[in-house]
Amino acid sequence: MTANDIRRRPLRTSLALFAGFAVIVVLSTVTDLALHAGHVFPAEGQPMATPLWVLALAYRSGFAVLGCWLAARLAPSRPMAHALTLGAIGVVLSALGTAATWDKGPGFGPRWYPLSLVVTSLPLAWLGGRLEQRPAAPPAS
């Protein structure tokens, strides 16, 4: 490893985490907007039925796995650590969102929904990191 590689590592780590985070946020936001525009979800701030919250949790979970996989894939080293770091960021942001919306009314969903985002962040990040771990190549014969 050269001195130049060592200097680039923090930048590559930051870019890997940013790329994974951006994938999660952009895909979640675009999907939310599309489902509202398609009248699958009600207008912003209106109460939503439980199955729709389950749908939101499902696609956000998939996007979380994808984003954490991407962070692991782009990581200069220790891909699982990058995926889990992104998961930890998810825990913190989800906890802040939970606290900010806790008593804001039915337009912000049932209380289980933001709690589920907090609880699933690290397991989903682990899954994304695990998907990046490739099996070792078989020895040449």
Number of domains in the chain: 1
Q: What is the reported pLDDT for 141?
A: 61
Average pLDDT, the chain: 91
> What average pLDDT does range 108-131 have in this prediction?
96
Q: Which DSSP symbol is given to 106?
A: G
Report if residue 141 sits inside a domain.
no
Confidence category of residue 136, pLDDT binned at 50, 70, 90: low
Does 81 have pLDDT greater than 80? yes
Which has the higher per-residue pLDDT, 50 or 134? 50
Q: What is the reported pLDDT for 106?
A: 82
How many whole angstroms separate alpha carbon 48 and alpha carbon 67?
26
Report if residue 55 sits inside a domain.
yes
Report if residue 139 sits inside a domain.
no
pTM given for the model: 0.88
Q: What is the reported pLDDT for 82?
A: 97
Report if residue 63 sits inside a domain.
yes
Report if residue 46 sits inside a domain.
yes
- The residue range of the domain holding 51 is 3-132
Report if residue 138 sits inside a domain.
no
> What average pLDDT does range 10-18 have in this prediction?
93
Report if residue 44 sits inside a domain.
yes
Confidence category of residue 8, pLDDT binned at 50, 70, 90: low
Report if residue 82 sits inside a domain.
yes
How many whole angstroms separate alpha carbon 125 and alpha carbon 61?
9
